[in-house]
């Protein structure tokens, strides 16, 4: 199992950053390789990804969600899990930290992991999230439930 951690400071209040992250169906707009996410229930999402030519579909279960603080998830087969935390830096700035663990499958994923490509992709996704939410200034929606 490979693990990685990346952070980005976003120039929006913590509630805005958190609310946007709860809008899973918007992820393809800033996450490279994520083609579609459907929210099936309050705690289940269905993902379609295509990374380095490898297509995957899987369900992920939200295992913990605390408004303005944290969202954690795990795929049904436990090959992918992670969490995103939201920490106010000041009234208008939030540190978003993503931690992810995944089990690479096959040669392409194993090679990409060893070369640091997965960590690079996660860093890019966070930077694109920053641009996405800062350009809007507000979240596209919100789910304030607790899991």
HEC per residue, 98-114: EEEEECCCHHHHHHHHH
The pTM score is: 0.91
The reported pLDDT for the residue numbered 124 is 94
| Residue ranges of domains in the chain, CATH in brackets | 2-136 (3.30.530.20)
The reported pLDDT for the residue numbered 51 is 76
The reported pLDDT for the residue numbered 116 is 66
Cα torsion angle, 124, 40, 69, 21, sign: positive
Q: What is the pLDDT of residues 70-118, one digit of tens each?
A: 999 999 887 889 999 999 999 899 999 999 988 777 776 776 666 666 7
Q: Is 23 helix (H, G, I), strand (E, B) or coil?
A: coil
Q: What is the pLDDT of residues 126-141, one digit of tens each?
A: 999 999 999 999 999 8
Q: Is 128 helix (H, G, I), strand (E, B) or coil?
A: helix
**Average pLDDT, rounded, for the chain:** 90
Q: What confidence tier does 49 reach under pLDDT thresholds 50, 70, 90?
A: confident
In the numeric block, which tokens belong to residue 17? 């950053």
């Amino acid at each position: 199992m490979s693990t990685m951690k990346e952070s980005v400071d976003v120039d929006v209040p913590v509630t805005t950053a958190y609310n946007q992250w709860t809008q899973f169906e918007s992820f393809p707009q800033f996450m490279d390789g994520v083609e579609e996410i459907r929210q099936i229930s309050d705690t289940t999402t269905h993902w379609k990804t295509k990374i380095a030519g490898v297509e995957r579909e899987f369900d992920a279960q939200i295992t913990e969600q605390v408004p303005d603080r944290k969202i954690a998830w795990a795929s049904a087969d436990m090959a992918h899990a992670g969490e995103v935390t939201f920490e106010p830096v000041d009234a208008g700035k939030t540190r978003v930290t993503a931690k992810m663990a995944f089990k690479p499958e096959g040669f392409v994923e194993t090679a990409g992991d060893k070369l640091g490509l997965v960590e690079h992709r996660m860093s890019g996704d966070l930077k694109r999230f920053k641009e996405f939410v800062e350009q809007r200034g507000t979240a596209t929606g919100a789910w304030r439930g607790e899991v």
